[in-house]
Amino acid sequence: MQNQILSLIVIVVVQTSVVAQCFLDRHSTNWYDGWLSCEERENPNPERGASHWILYNFGKAASLGELQIWNTNDPQNLSSGIRQASLDYSMDGFSWKTWGDFTVPEAEGLAIYEGVDGPDLAGIQAQYILINADENHGGDCFGFGEIRFHLTDEQVAEETTNNMQEAYCLAAQVHPNPFESSPTLSVQSNCESRATYRIHDAMGKLIVAEDVPAEISNWQNQIPTKSWVPGIYFLNIYYGRQKQVLKLVKM
């Protein structure tokens, strides 16, 4: 199965009383419930090279705390669950920092399996989390059922996002959108140096990477989309730490 880039619903931890059935967080024993990688792919972090990985995009900066992890729980494939993994984090998806390694015990293969406590990220600020599966429990593939991220301070994450948007020097739009043939990217800019834009498909594959010239305040460029399959794409424009994201839809 190809590696996937996922947007994750982050769980904000609050103190509350919960009345529910036993084994509240139990996971199924279905082989297809979770993430699975059986073939190495080029890693979003160039220093990693080809590997087994999964990339989480939270949509905005977040202050991250404890992780809860459910390993691969199919009784016939427990050995493909991750044993050791490394974690990288980033604000823009291109400049990466390494948090460190963590280990995950083999799952139980039971319907009442409730996962294990993962590492505590201690409030690191990130929009992107890259999990690299370095070792498994002896199987042919690498996978896990779920990794749940908990926030430590939502307010801190919101302030970080706002700070990144200050003094924004460009604005972009794509029209028409949705589109059937090649749309036009229009950029209004008063940036002192050139910006760059990249377009990825929904699986994270890079489709287009070009520069936006600094000397042109109102710049337009037709995006060649003849070879694109219908679906959702994401256009990211970068200038320093500033970023604008547009969702594109090809009909």
Q: What is the DSSP string of 145-186?
A: EEEEEEES-HHHHHHHHHHHHTT--EEEEEESSSBSS--EEE
Instruction: Determine the pLDDT at residue 166.
Output: 32
Tell me what pLDDT residue 46 has: 85
Class of domain 170-250 as given by CATH: mainly beta
Q: For residue 240, what pLDDT is reported?
A: 66
Q: In Å, how far are 60, 122, 236 from 127, measured between CA atoms?
A: 5, 15, 14
Query: What pLDDT, on a 0 to 100 scale, did the predictor assign at position 153?
Result: 66
In order, the DSSP letters of the chain are: ----EEE--PEEP--------SSTT-----TTSSEEE-S-EE-SSTTT-EEEEEEEEEEEEEEEEEEEEEE---TT-GGGBEEEEEEEEESSSSS-EEEEEEE-PPP--STT---EEEEEEEEEEEEEEEEEEEEESS-SSEEEEEEEEEES-HHHHHHHHHHHHTT--EEEEEESSSBSS--EEEEEE--SS-EEEEEEETT--EEEEEEE-TT-SEEEEE---TTPPSEEEEEEEEETTEEEEEEEEE-
Structure tokens at 32: 């297809």
The residue among 135, 132, 105, 136 whose CA lies nearest residue 118 is: 105
Comma-separated ranges of CATH 2.60.40.1930 domains in the chain = 170-250
Is domain 35-151 annotated with CATH 2.60.120.260? yes
* pLDDT score for 241: 61
Note the pTM of the prediction, 2 decimals. Answer: 0.55
Of 99, 76, 79, 80, whose CA–CA distance to 89 is shortest?
A: 99
Its sign, for the CA torsion 159, 162, 167, 169, is positive
Reading the chain (251 residues) residue by residue, the pLDDT tens digits are 445 444 443 433 333 222 233 333 444 445 445 788 888 888 888 899 889 998 888 777 888 999 999 999 989 999 999 999 999 999 878 789 999 999 999 998 898 888 999 999 999 999 889 999 999 999 999 999 888 888 886 544 333 333 333 335 667 888 888 888 889 988 877 777 777 888 888 778 888 888 877 666 678 889 989 899 888 888 888 776 667 778 888 88
pLDDT value at residue 149 = 87
Whole-angstrom Cα distance, residue 150 to residue 91? 17
CB neighbour list of residue 122: distance below 8 Å, 6 or more residues apart: 65, 152
Cβ atoms of 133 and 48 within 8 Å: the answer is no
Q: Quote the pLDDT of residue 162.
A: 34
| Residue intervals in the chain for CATH 2.60.120.260 | 35-151
